[in-house]
Structure 1
């Protein structure tokens, strides 16, 4: 089954109202565990995008259509919505503007250990590699190819709406929390059904 409709966007105000109701939706935050630990919507569940994709068939058995997907800006949440729709759970809502819009609206946030978000890490690494290639070309002929390679990767990332560098960085030790276990995350969702 493939997704036939676009993700249903939900504004910060709409989500706040829904969370205050007698039957609030479940909020799945698909950012990395480190991003989630830094700041998240109180009561939300962390199921990183790569974990969600890997366990989507299992997750659909523990979720109902009353779920809101959240990430930093809405991009990864949109990808999560498409993955779950393909697994048989279409029509989930995505928080428009992500946790960034949520925080800007002054909505409640649970804060933990602060770290750089994944997008900022990607900009640092990509920029450093381009700079190294450009400066290195003054000393070592051909080093500018590194800059061209990174530039090509960024163009591909924009066209495909994927980011290999982001995926690689999300697996780095500083982006993992010691206690995150994908099987336990899925089990928590099953217990709260």
Structure 2
């Protein structure tokens, strides 16, 4: 008890961070469309998921997930016919941080795509997880 009295700020920090982690776990548990880099890798390996990078050309050229298809979000409407052939396959969308790919996923779901996933945290999380990056054009 004496420890807590002298170090109340550490105890408060532990309670606050534990609460934050609990909220994040509960919030993400129901959303199966958000994938971590490890979950995305498993889906790629087990179900031949297609990675669709929706960033602009300059960002894509700086580094992308190996074998990722590149269709910038700004070109989605124009290139929709190109994506029709992937309708039955799992699609993992990625961008820099997860925002643009979330928007792209909503568009694809509206167009009738069922197996659409978002790489949570985008390329930032992918790199942070130590996953491979390619700079080759595809």
Normalising to structure 2: TM-score of the pair? Answer: 0.69
1:19-44 per-residue CA deviation (whole Å, 9 max, x = no partner) reads: 333x3201000000111111100011
Match of 1:97 in 2: 121
Separation in 1 of the partners of 2:95 and 2:101?
5
**Structure 1 runs not aligned, ≥5 long:** 1-5, 113-178, 180-187, 189-193
1:159-187 per-residue CA deviation (whole Å, 9 max, x = no partner) reads: xxxxxxxxxxxxxxxxxxxx9xxxxxxxx
Picking from 53, 60, 70, the partner of 1:29 is: 53
Match of 1:142 in 2: none
Match of 1:61 in 2: 84
Q: CA deviation at 1:62?
A: 1.2
Q: CA deviation at 1:15?
A: 1.1
Match of 1:8 in 2: 33
Q: CA RMSD in A?
A: 2.2
1:131-151 per-residue CA deviation (whole Å, 9 max, x = no partner) reads: xxxxxxxxxxxxxxxxxxxxx
- Decide whether the 8 Å contact of 1:28 with 1:68 is kept in 2: yes
Normalising to structure 1: TM-score of the pair? Answer: 0.50
1:36-61 per-residue CA deviation (whole Å, 9 max, x = no partner) reads: 111100011100001113333x1442
- Find the residue that maps to 1:53 and give its secondary structure: coil
State the aligned residue count.
Answer: 107
Q: CA deviation at 1:88?
A: 1.7
- Decide whether the 8 Å contact of 1:30 with 1:76 is kept in 2: yes
Q: Does 1:110 align with 2:138?
A: no
